[in-house]
Amino acid sequence: MTDFLATYYPWIKALHVISVIAWMAGLFYLPRLFVYHVEQVEKGSPTDAMFQVMERRLLKGIINPASVASWGFGLALVFTPGIVDWNAVWPWTKAASVVAMTVFHVWLARRRKDFVADSNTVTGRQYRLMNEVPTLLMVVIVASVIVKF
């Protein structure tokens, strides 16, 4: 198996980067949709139903599959011999940030269910603030991998 991982390392890395880009795009966009949904849409209106469809499709069609692919390809990279020095700090900061990104993803999925149940209590301002979370985590992840501190 390790021969396979080493042989296909460039492809696995490319697919990991592609998956992460898709995952991040969704994590940037969904909270923004929530801002507009909570601030501009009347509950029970046709626009409310349209936003719920958009949010569900974004989560189920892009964010969830991209997250699974990111994790899968990322773990393949981790298990490729000679790629990760576990004595360094960077793999641990990256791992912690990826776990935090996944927790944020789950939080967004729960907020989508709140809209479906007509029980959202988060304000547009709060969603705007939460929209910064993936950016901050992305900075830590990219710095960890590129700078390898």
pLDDT digits 0-9 by tens, 35-91: 999 999 999 999 999 999 999 999 999 999 999 999 999 999 999 999 999 999 999
**pTM attached to this predicted model:** 0.94
Among 104, 130, 134, smallest CA distance to 31 is for 130
Q: Which of the 8 DSSP states describes residue 51?
A: H
Contact 27, 108 (CB under 8 A): yes
pLDDT of 2 > 80? The answer is no
What are the DSSP E strand ranges found in the chain? Answer: none
Q: DSSP state, 7?
A: H
Supply the DSSP symbol for 89: S
What are the sequence ranges of the domains in the chain? 2-147
111 C-beta neighbours (distance < 10 Å), count: 21
Model confidence pLDDT, tens digit, residues 97-108: 999 999 999 999
